[in-house]
Amino acid sequence: MTGSFFPEEKISEIRDRASLLEVVSDYVALKKTGRNYKGLCPFHSEKTPSFMVNEEKQIFHCFGCGEGGDVFAFLMKTGHFSFPEAVEELAKRYGIGLPRQTPSPAQKKEMSKREVLFRINQLASEYYHDLLTRNQDGAEGRRYLSRRGVQEEIIKEHRLGYAPDRWDGLVHHLREKKVPPELAWELGLILPKKTEGWYDVFRKRIIFPIFDLHQRVVGFGGRLTGEGQPKYINSSESSIYHKGEVLYGLHAARRFAAERDGMIIVEGYFDLLTLHQYGLKQSVATLGTALTTKHIRTLKRYTKNLITVFDPDPAGIQATLRTLPLFLEEEVTGKAVLLPKGEDPDTYLKKGNLEDFEKGVAGAVPLIDFFFDGLIKAHDVKTIDGKVNIAKEGMAMIRRIPEKIRQDLYVRTLSERLGLKESALYEMIRPPRERTRPVEQPPEKSLREEFPKSEEMVVRLMIHHPELIPIISEEKIWNEFETPLLKSVCQELEDIFRKKGKQNLPETLEAFDGALKERLCEYAFEESGIAGEGPTGSGSQRPERMLQDCMEKIRRRKLKKDESELLRRIKEVEKQRDGRGLEALLREHQELTRRAKGLLKGNLQKG
C-alpha cells in the first residue's frame, strides 16, 4: 500500500497469515450463514445484521452502509489506526517480525499525532505499573490493594498502577523520555504551574489504565489511597478518549460476553475488578458517566442481553430507569439487578454472596417491567387519576419501542395490570408514534450504476472460480466490454493472478475505492447464480459453459453495436456524390457478418 514504509512482501505475508474472522470477532458477534459469517455492522447502527465476513476470501462487506475491504481496512476503520499502525498491530498478533526501517521525512509527517498520544499514555501506564509492582514508592499502593482484596492476577491483567505522593514524578519521567509537556497536558496527565513548570495530575492514587479494544491506553482513572476529596478523578477527554464511548474492562470482557450471551454493566472500577476476580468476566463499567447510546451500540455487537447493576438507593434506581429508553430504541434486552441496601458488587461479593449474585443476574428483571412496577408504586392504581397517570407514563415509554410485536405485548401487559382496554391505551399514542430521537441511518447510497449482466458475470466468475482466469486472459474478453470500470477490474484480477499464481481478492480491492470497491465486495459475497457451487459442480451449468455463454453474449452485443455504427456510416457515405470509402465500409460489413455467422454456428453446434 502506498505510504507504508514496510516492504511489500511483509505486507503480503501479514495479509496471508492474519485471520480476518478472528480480528472481526473481537468487535462483532458473528454467526455462520452458509460460507459466510454475519453480524451487526460496527460502522453504523442497524437492527438486522447485514455485515458479512468471508473467511476464505479474507474480505468483509456491509450491505447496509457499503463498507468493505480486507483485514487492514477493518482495523483502520474500527480502531482509527493509520496503515503502519494496522500493520504493526497484526504483525504483533500473528508473530511476524517486521524490519525496523527509518521512515522518510514525508512518512514521518504521515504518522499521525494520535500515534504520539497513544505512546505517551503507554509510557505513563508503564511508569505507574512499575511503581506499583516493583518500586518501594509503590508500597502504599500495594497495601491499599491488599486491604481491598485485589489479587495479583487482576493487577497484572488490568495493568493497575500507583501514583506516589509527589508533584513531579511523572513530569520527570516524561521529560527523560523527551515527551513534549503540552501533549501530556492535552491528555490530562500533567498541568501547568501558575508560574513556570508542570505538575502531576494523579498523586497518591491507585491508577486504572483505560484501554480501547486494541489494548491501547486511551485514558486513566485514579482513586485516593487515603482521606481526601475527590476520591476518584479521570483523565480529561482528548482526541483519543471520549467517556461516552469507552467502557472500562471491555477489552477483557468482550469474548466472554459472546460466550455467555450477556454483559453485566456496573458503575465503579473496583466493582468491575471484583466481578472479574470472581469469574464474572463478562462485565464492564461506565467511567463516571451515565450509560450512552454509543455504549449500548458497542455492547450489542457482542450480545443483546445487557444487565445493569446499580445502587439500590433512589438515585441509583432513577439512573437505572433513565437508561430504559436507550435500550428500547436500540432493540436491546435491558435488565436490572438491584442489590441489598448499602451494597455494591464489590462489597456484596466479598461477603461471600457469589451464588446469590449469580442467581440475581440469571433472574434479572427486564427494565420495562421494573419501570411498570415503579409506576404502580408511585401512583394509586385504585384511583382514576392514578390509572390515568400510569397509562400516560407507561404509553410514553412503550411508544419508544421500534418493534411492533414487542410494543403490542407490552400494551397488553399494561392493559391487564390497569384493567383498561388495549384500544384505549393505543388512542394515547395516535397519530402514529414518532421517535423522540432519530436512529442513526447508514450513509445514503448514491444511485447505482447498472452494468451489463454478462460482463458482471465474467467478473463474478473470476472471483468465485479463479481457475477460469487463464481462459479469460487468453481470450482478452474485457477488450469487448462496454463498461470501462469492469474492464479495469478484470485486468486487475488477471494481473494479480498472473503475478501471484493465485487469486488475492484483498489485494485487488486496494486498487479501487468508492462505489466500485463496494460493488466488488458485493460480487464476492453474492454466490447465487454462480455455477458449480456444489461439491461436484451441481449448478445448472458448469462454470466453463457459463463463461462461454457470457463471452458469446458480450461478443454478439459488441458485433451488433459495431454493425449499427457501420451501417450509419455507410448511409452517410451513400448520400455523398462521390461515394468515397464506400467499398472499404462494405468489406468491413461483410467481415462483421462473417464473424456473426461464426458465433451463431458455434452456438448451434453446442446446442
Q: Are residues 296 and 318 in the same domain?
A: yes
Contact 290, 308 (CB under 8 A): no
For residue 309, list its beta bridge partners.
Answer: 337
| pLDDT tier, 565 (very low <50, low <70, confident <90, very high otherwise) | confident
CATH (domain of 553):
1.10.860
Tell me, yes or no, whether 472 lies in a domain: yes
Q: How far apart are CA 117 and CA 409, in angstroms?
A: 50
The pLDDT of residue 258: 81
Same domain, 457 and 589: yes
Residue 185 belongs to what domain range?
A: 113-234
The pLDDT of 402-426, averaged and rounded, is 88
Taking phi over 0 as left and psi of -120 to 50 as alpha, with beta for the rest, 311 belongs to beta
Question: Would you say residue 434 has pLDDT above 70?
Answer: no
pTM score: 0.68
Task: Please give the residue that has the higher pLDDT: either 210 or 268.
Answer: 210
Report CA-CA distances (Å) from 603 to 28, 530, 551.
49, 21, 12
- Residue in 520, 604, 514, 591 with CA at minimum distance from that of residue 559: 591
The CATH number of the domain holding residue 179 is 3.90.980.10
Residues 6+ apart with CB under 8 A from 286: 247, 248, 265, 266, 267, 295
Whether 567 and 592 map to the same domain: the answer is yes
Residue 40 backbone dihedrals phi, psi, to 5 degrees: -75, 135
In sequence order, what are the residues at sequence separation of 6 or more whose Cβ sits closer than 8 angstroms to the Cβ of residue 183? 116, 117, 120
Domain boundary among 234, 265, 300: 234
Domain end among 445, 462, 490: 445
- What is the rounded average pLDDT of the residues 117-123? 94
Residue 92, pLDDT above cutoff 90 = no
With a cut of 60, say whether residue 607 has pLDDT above it: no
Residues 6+ away with beta carbon under 8 Å from 297: 45, 330
Residue 26 is assigned to a structural domain of this protein: yes
Rg (CA), the chain: 32
Task: Judge residue 50's burial from the number of C-beta atoms within 10 Å of its C-beta, 0-12 exposed, 13-18 middle, 19 or more buried.
Answer: middle
Q: Which one, of 484, 519, 520, 518, lies nearest residue 503 by Cα?
A: 520
Domain-embedded: residue 145: yes
Q: Is residue 370 part of a domain?
A: no
C-alpha–C-alpha distance, residues 120 and 97, integer Å: 24
Residue 243 lies in a domain: no
One domain for residues 411 and 509:
no
Poorest-pLDDT segment among 249-263, 280-294, 500-514: 500-514
Are 221 and 157 found together in one domain? yes
Number of separate helices (H) and strands (E) present in the chain: 28, 16
Same domain, 17 and 144: no
Residue type for 598, please? G
> Is the N-terminal amide bond of 466 cis, ω within 30° of 0?
no
Question: Is the pLDDT score of 107 beyond 70?
Answer: no
CATH of the domain at 23: 3.90.580.10
Residues 419 and 461 in one domain: no
Q: Tell me, yes or no, whether 51 and 156 share the same domain.
A: no
The answer to whether the Cα torsion of 554, 560, 563, 564 is positive or negative is negative
Establish if 371 belongs to a structural domain: no
Phi, psi of 233, deg, nearest 5: -135, 155
pLDDT band at residue 110 under the 50/70/90 scheme: low
Please, where are the H alpha helices in 80-180? 83-93, 105-110, 113-134, 139-147, 152-157, 169-176
Q: Is it the case that residue 330 has pLDDT exceeding 60?
A: yes
Q: Indicate if 575 and 594 belong to the same structural domain.
A: yes
Given a cut of 60, whether residue 439 has pLDDT beyond it is no
CA 518/CA 48 separation, integer angstroms: 20
Local confidence band at 201 (pLDDT 50, 70, 90 cut-offs): very high
Would you say residue 449 has pLDDT above 70?
Answer: no
Task: Say whether the peptide bond before residue 443 is cis (omega within 30 degrees of 0).
Answer: no
Domain end point (choices 88, 107, 126): 107
Comparing 99 with 100, the larger pLDDT belongs to 99
**What's the pLDDT at 65?**
87
Beta strands 68-69 and 161-163 are: unpaired
Q: Is residue 374 part of a domain?
A: no
Which distant-in-sequence residues (6+ apart) come within 8 Å of 515 by Cβ? 66, 446, 448, 449
For 483, the enclosing helix (H) or strand (E) is none
SS3 (DSSP) at 428: coil
Mean pLDDT of the 211-232 span:
93
Beta carbons of 477 and 454 less than 8 angstroms apart: no
**Grid cell in block for residue 426:** 393505543
| pLDDT score of 568 | 79
- What is the CATH number for 326? 3.40.1360.10
Same domain for 281 and 178: no
| Mean local confidence (pLDDT), 408-417 | 90
Q: Find the mean pLDDT for residues 22-30.
A: 89
Q: Decide the pairing of beta strands 365-366 and 31-33.
A: unpaired
- Which residues are CB-neighbours of 537 under 8 A, at least 6 positions away? 531, 543
pLDDT tens sequence across 263-272 = 999 988 999 9
Place of cell 395490570: 417
* Contacts of residue 361, Cβ cutoff 8 Å, sequence gap at least 6: 262, 264, 280, 307, 337
Confidence of residue 39 (pLDDT cuts 50, 70, 90): very high
User: What pLDDT does 172 receive?
Assistant: 97
Q: Percent of the chain scored above 90 by pLDDT?
A: 37
pLDDT of 57: 87
What pLDDT does 103 receive? 60
Point out which residues pair with 39 in neighbouring strands: 51
* 412: nearest Cα among 431, 425, 399: 425
Q: What is the DSSP code (8-state) at residue 267? A: S
3-state secondary structure of 204: coil
* Domain shared by 187 and 275, yes or no: no
Q: How many structural domains is the chain composed of?
A: 5
